[in-house]
């Protein structure tokens, strides 16, 4: 049996096909202006790559902020929508059954989730509707620094000096980065300051649900080593990052689809 | 005077409100705050008046995070600063 | 449109009261309000406004404060050294090298608003480049309740600048443009400037006119400011100061929401902070001389 999980985030839609317990396929694509259209094109390309027909998918579960756009709607017709918190917790726990704290940092939201021994959500806290608490912050700062988002991590790891950043707002931080550039602070030190500030906010958020090992970090920002290092330092413990962290929500949705079909 | 320190952003309202008419400047709240958020300063509002408790400038733009440790999701209770104030001069907006 | 056009840039200006003579004054004081975007200098003779300047804050606040002061004094024959007491206020108040002391901008704004608008003022809203302040005070200009939001760019002049750049309309025309709709559309749903900008862009792509998007953006900003005001309590008379007070798009919507018409100023309300600082300077000078 093949099931699908689709996570429609603020920037990217992620899709995972699960065959029995194995991931058959994963793909991601940019979410455009028409959410349903973007998701459909990613879905259909995925079907084609796997040589599948829409009827071969036994069940599709949706998550992410755009989940409503494909729930019961043609042509994907997801049969169920689950919250991002549940999808993240389920996905992370199935990847690592020792996970007790799941941190997800996406483009527009940050989440801290406390997970029970059997993978259920115990408590959670969400940072939303403010760009300073999510991946958009790093992305906007990268633009101000004139480097790509991908280069931000490696750049920041080269830093030799901690520079404080005062602004707590993405818009104000942009001006602060520009003035740091003007006062000839090295780019790598600015990149580090950006990640340090962001990690500090995410760590404080997670502390509200309590930090219990193992800690699993998921979401697109987990790929950024420049962010992971200060987060590790702030929480004073090791953080586990699964392979393909940005697909955790989609994977969790697929797991739920499988469980529901049984 | 009701002094509101903090902010409102997309994610919510995060203000510590100190009633300077009730505050007697005892400093008990400062002692119990694990994050070192509060301090006693000269009253700049009234040049004839004495000291007042304020929220430190470097915490005013991140209160949601600074006060996070005193606001666990699982067991919400009165924060130490509010508990310590015998004058009931401190309130939190969230 | 050349690539060099910067829609956020506003013109600087200065003024001297022609009928007043500083040589006849007993106490000459100055208030310097270094905001994040604008720097204001007010010179007062025995507690009455004599000269002022309004400039954009440069990269170095110290240099800006000196420039603002010198520009305010231009052609008056009055030298900086002749001023008895200088109070610095605003975001960059510690960077006024010639100030005798600094006073929080909240207290200065309340006092300045009383000078500009008269003693019936109870609620002062100041929306500056980088912050939003709501102050409630009594008939003496004493602060009863206040809040200052300088964490978040939403509801500040900076938020408007970002929007001016996005839709390519000079910031001083933005308010008028936002009023060129028959009926306000629903406000932009995001508070965060970064997200609101993306939302506005999406609305433009959907085919909304610039005017309609501007209306939605201004409506959201007015909503947010009204929320902040509600926290300190709104009482008549109500006044708006700071750079954003010049934006009719915000003021009109705020009036509709609060059902209170703000008082018309009899002088430039952007100066309230600097005037308040100069008045504090007078009180402090009198205290020093043993006059109070």
SS (H, E, C) A124-162: EEEECCCHHHCHHHHHHHHHHHCCCHHHHHHHHHCCCCC
CA distance A11 to chain C (A): 12
The interaxial angle of helices C210-232 and C193-205, nearest 10 deg, is 150
Residue count (chain A): 262
Of the residues C100, C231, C281, the best mutation for testing chain B's interface (the one with the most B CB atoms within 10 Å of its CB) is C231
Q: Are A137 and A170 in contact (CB under 8 A)?
A: yes
Per DSSP bridges, beta strands C123-127 and C238-241 are parallel
Q: Could you tell me which chain A residue has the CA closest to the CA of C129?
A: A172
Q: CB–CB of C195 and A168 under 8 A? A: no
Q: Does domain A97-241 have CATH number 3.30.420.40?
A: yes
Q: Could you tell me which chain B residue has the CA closest to the CA of C193?
A: B10
Per-residue pLDDT band at A53 (split at 50, 70, 90): very high
Spatial separation of the C-alpha atoms in residues A170 and A213, rounded to whole Å: 31
Q: CB–CB of C287 and B47 under 8 A? A: yes
CA distance A128 to chain B (A): 6
What per-residue confidence (pLDDT) applies to C227? 96
Write out pLDDT tens, residues B12-53. 999 999 999 999 999 999 999 999 999 999 888 877 777 899
B interface with C, Cβ–Cβ < 8 A, is: 1-10, 13, 15, 44-47, 60-62, 93
What per-residue confidence (pLDDT) applies to C2? 42
Mean pLDDT for back-to-back runs of 10 residues, chain C (292 residues): 61 93 97 92 97 90 93 95 96 92 92 92 93 93 93 96 96 97 97 97 96 98 96 94 90 96 86 95 93 79
The two domains A2-82+247-261 and A97-241 share their CATH topology (first three levels equal): yes
Mean pLDDT, residues A170-192? 96
What per-residue confidence (pLDDT) applies to A262? 84
**In the block, which residue shows the tokens 């600074």?**
B66
Of residues A127, A159, A146, A124, the one with CA closest to residue A229: A159
Q: For A168, which of B61, B68, B71 is closest by C-beta distance?
A: B61
What per-residue confidence (pLDDT) applies to C5? 62
- CB < 8 Å to C197, chain B: none
Domain ranges (residues) in chain A: 2-82+247-261, 97-241
Q: Cβ of B45 under 8 Å from any chain A Cβ?
A: no
ipTM value, please give it: 0.94
Write out the two tokens for C69: 């002061």
Q: Are B84 and B28 in contact (CB under 8 A)?
A: yes
What per-residue confidence (pLDDT) applies to B43? 85
**In chain B, what are the domains?**
2-92 (3.30.70.20)
In this prediction the pTM is 0.90
Q: For B74, which of A168, A169, A210 is closest by C-beta distance?
A: A210
Mean pLDDT, residues A27-44? 94
**In chain C, what are the domains?**
13-113+270-288 (3.30.420.40), 121-262 (3.30.420.40)
Mean pLDDT, residues B75-82? 93
Name residue A103's beta-bridge partners: A112, A217
Q: For B7, which of C104, C143, C151 is closest by C-beta distance?
A: C151
What per-residue confidence (pLDDT) applies to C3? 45
CA distance A233 to chain C (A): 25
Spatial separation of the C-alpha atoms in residues B10 and A202, rounded to whole Å: 16
Q: For C283, which of B5, B8, B47 is closest by C-beta distance?
A: B47
pLDDT of A93 higher than 50:
yes
DSSP string, chain C: --TT--TT----EEEE-TT--GGG-S-EEEEEEE-SSEEEEEEEETTEEEEEEEEE--S-HHHHHHHHHHHHHTTT---GGG-SEEEEESTTGGG-TT-SEE--HHHHHHHHHHHHH-TT--EEEEE-SS-EEEEEE-TTS-EEEEEEE-S-STTSHHHHHHHHHHHT--HHHHHHHHT-SSSPPPPPS--SHHHHHHHHHHHHHTT--HHHHHHHHHHHHHHHHHHHHHHH---SSEEEESGGGG-HHHHHHHHHHH--PPPPPSS-GGGHHHHHHHHHHHHHHHHHTT--
Q: Cβ of B10 under 8 Å from any chain A Cβ?
A: yes
Of the residues A207, A234, A236, the best mutation for testing chain B's interface (the one with the most B CB atoms within 10 Å of its CB) is A207
A15 vs C58: which has the higher pLDDT: A15
CA distance A69 to chain C (A): 17
Q: Cβ of B73 under 8 Å from any chain A Cβ?
A: yes
CATH code of domain A2-82+247-261:
3.30.420.40
Of residues C192, C197, B77, B57, the one with CA closest to residue A127: C192
């Amino acid at each position: 049996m093949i099931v699908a999980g689709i996570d429609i985030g603020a920037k990217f839609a992620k899709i995972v096909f699960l065959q029995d317990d194995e991931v058959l396929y994963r793909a991601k694509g940019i979410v455009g202006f028409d959410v349903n259209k973007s998701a459909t094109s990613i879905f259909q390309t995925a079907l084609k790559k796997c040589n599948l027909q829409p009827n071969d998918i036994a069940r599709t579960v949706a998550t992410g902020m755009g989940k409503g756009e494909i729930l019961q709607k043609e042509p994907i017709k997801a049969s169920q929508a689950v919250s991002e918190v549940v999808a993240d917790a389920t996905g992370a726990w199935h990847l690592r059954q020792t996970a007790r704290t799941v941190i997800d940092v996406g483009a527009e939201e940050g989440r801290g989730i406390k997970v029970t021994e059997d993978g259920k959500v115990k408590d959670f806290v969400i940072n939303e509707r403010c760009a300073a608490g999510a991946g958009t912050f790093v992305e906007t700062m990268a633009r101000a620094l004139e480097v790509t988002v991908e280069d931000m991590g490696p750049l920041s790891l080269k830093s030799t000096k901690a520079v404080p950043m005062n602004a707590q707002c993405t818009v104000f931080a942009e001006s602060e980065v520009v003035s740091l550039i003007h006062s000839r602070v090295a780019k790598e030190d600015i990149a580090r300051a950006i990640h340090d500030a962001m990690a500090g906010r995410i760590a404080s958020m997670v502390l509200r649900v309590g930090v219990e090992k193992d800690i699993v970090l998921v979401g697109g920002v987990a790929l950024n080593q420049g962010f992971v290092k200060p987060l590790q330092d702030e929480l004073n413990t090791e953080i586990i990052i699964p392979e393909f962290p940005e697909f955790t929500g989609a994977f969790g949705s697929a797991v739920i689809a499988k469980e529901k079909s049984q | 005077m009701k002094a509101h320190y903090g902010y409102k952003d997309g994610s919510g309202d995060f203000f510590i409100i100190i009633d300077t008419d009730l505050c007697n400047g005892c400093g008990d709240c400062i002692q119990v705050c694990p994050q070192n958020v509060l301090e006693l300063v000269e009253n700049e509002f009234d040049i004839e008046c004495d000291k007042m408790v304020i929220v430190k400038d470097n915490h005013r733009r991140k209160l949601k995070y600074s006060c996070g440790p005193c606001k666990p999701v699982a067991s919400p209770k009165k924060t130490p600063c509010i508990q310590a104030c015998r004058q009931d001069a401190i309130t939190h907006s969230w | 449109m050349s690539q060099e056009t910067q829609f956020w840039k506003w013109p600087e200006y200065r003024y001297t009261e022609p009928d007043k003579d500083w040589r006849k004054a007993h106490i000459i004081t100055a208030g310097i309000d270094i905001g994040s975007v604008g720097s204001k200098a007010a010179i007062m003779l025995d507690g009455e406004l004599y000269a002022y300047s309004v400039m954009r804050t440069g990269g170095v606040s110290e240099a800006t404060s000196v420039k603002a002061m010198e520009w305010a004094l231009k052609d008056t024959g009055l030298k900086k050294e002749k001023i008895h007491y200088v109070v610095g206020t605003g975001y960059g108040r510690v960077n006024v090298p010639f100030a005798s002391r600094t006073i929080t901008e909240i207290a200065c704004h309340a006092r300045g608003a009383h000078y500009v608008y008269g003693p019936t003022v109870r609620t002062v809203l100041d929306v500056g480049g980088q912050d939003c302040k709501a102050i409630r005070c009594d008939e003496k200009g004493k602060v009863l309740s206040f809040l200052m939001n300088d964490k978040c760019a939403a509801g500040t002049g900076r938020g408007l600048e970002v929007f001016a750049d996005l839709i390519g309309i000079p910031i001083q025309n933005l308010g008028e443009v936002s009023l060129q709709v028959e009926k306000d559309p629903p406000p932009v749903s995001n508070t965060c400037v970064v997200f609101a900008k993306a939302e506005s862009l999406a609305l433009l792509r959907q085919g909304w006119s610039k005017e309609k998007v501007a209306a939605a953006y201004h409506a959201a900003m007015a909503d947010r400011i009204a929320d902040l005001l509600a926290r300190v309590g709104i009482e008549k008379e109500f006044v708006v100061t700071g750079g954003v007070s010049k934006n009719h798009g915000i003021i009109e919507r705020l009036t509709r929401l609060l059902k209170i018409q703000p008082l018309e100023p009899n002088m430039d309300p952007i100066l309230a902070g600097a005037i308040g600082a100069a008045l504090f300077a007078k009180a402090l000078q009198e205290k020093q001389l043993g006059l109070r």
